[in-house]
Structure 1
Amino acid sequence: MTFSFFRSCCVLNNYIPISMAMDIFETLEDEFDEYFDRLTIPRKTPVYRERINYMETLDETDFRARFRLTKKAVMFVYSIIEKAISVPTERNLAIKPINRLLLTLRFYATGSFLTVVGDFSGVSKASASRFVYLVSQAIARLRGLFIKFPSNTEDIQQEFFNIAKFPRLIGAIDCTHVPIKSPGGNNAEEWRNRKSQFSFNVQTVVSAKLRILDIVARWPGAAHDQTIFNNSFIKQRLQNGEFRNCVIVGDRGYENTSYLLTPLQTPMTPAEHLYNESQIRSRNVVERTYGVWKNRFPILSKKILLSVSRVQAVIVACAVLHNIAIDMRDDHFEAIYPVGEPDEHDVVNQSSLENVGDATVRSNLINDYFGSLL
């Protein structure tokens, strides 16, 4: 009995709906076709593709344009993670660890399909996927070394003070969305953000020099910025007084507290206007950081075509590499952002009530410090 005849019998006798019958038998036909193909098609001979040594064939300018880091920075990262990404054997022309790293950097630099990245490096799509995950995890594990607040925050305070004379400031906080493909499943809508895109909502605290001092990269796109902050370790550190009387600044998406200062919604006095101007100019560094970060690694702006479980390592790895590049004074991926312009929360929340918790520190700062500058 053929599939077509059996399908007709089922439909005519009302065993199952016609749409369901078609789906079932089309699936069965595909599976049987693939099975018989495997029986009849001889096993393919392994194909070894050409693998170019880009460290030798490209000059510094072309290398940096393709991999978004200098050769010196790449070799520094390689020296740290070499053992973690090494191959147990070189049989069958196994791809070398340095080429695994370059393949991953190429993926970050383009955000392209794994097939394209694999062709660029002379490996299959499956190998490219495996190497990207392996290297991303190895780099992300360096988070504790490169993404942290220094033990002495005086230098950070001075750097922020040089921008707009905001005192005791050690960081600017905000969130940015990193697009991903639909994760599927029953909870897929949790990953859809306010712009109807699937994404991770990534929180960072940055310095005046655009270094990422803290990162939280595990929340879906629908999560609110304040929710992410409430459940973050950096909030606990601030609440516990680990940074003494130092503060961070954020936009109106956050609640104003004694350690996180937000702008005033309706400044009235000259001192309040001066506070708002200084706060916004100081906070602008976090937007600049996102511009530099995403310009260096365009994968963060494009839709990451990996499973959700693998995206987090990519985001954290890009943050680690961003800080390493800054440490090595490779700062040529600057994006232009207007200083002192209101951001999205400033505009959206103009008509809403001001989100104020503990305003004592902010009030004292305005009256005692910014008032004295007039």
Structure 2
Amino acid sequence: MKILTHNRTGLGYHPDGSIDMSDDWWEQRCKEWPGARKYKDKPVANTDLMEQIFSGIHVSGYLGPHRRTRYHLDQFARGGPPTNSRELFNRRHASLRSVIERTFGVWKAKWRILDRKHPKYDVIKWVKIVTATMALHNFIRDSSDEDRDFTYWEPSV
């Protein structure tokens, strides 16, 4: 999965948790990495768990993307830069979402207990595990030491 998502942005998801991207996008990924095909219809790990943990959390002031307007970054790569304020907002929203998704991906790679290969815990235990790994992550990021995992996944500029 690392090869599939490394430096890729703008991923969407089907209701079953599988990655929702165009056939062209999948064709390109499979040319770059033949193993990507197995992820086309496979749900992304832990989406149901994250839904359970965070389903009761309501954030006021959330600004979602504009509907029926280009959103995913690969659409902008193929179709050129934003042509109006709605597209510009959607592009920026998708870029921010990409950073957040990458952060969660690195977090799950760093703290292997967060993947599906571990025993099923009840929601209360998962909240404690998530909170503990977030605290450890923040401590590492705030310390003077470099976080090798995040450095590896930082996009090259």
Tell me the TM-score normalized by structure 2: 0.49
Tell me the TM-score normalized by structure 1: 0.23
Greater CA radius of gyration, 1 or 2? 1
Q: Write 1 or 2 for the structure with the bigger share of strand.
A: 1
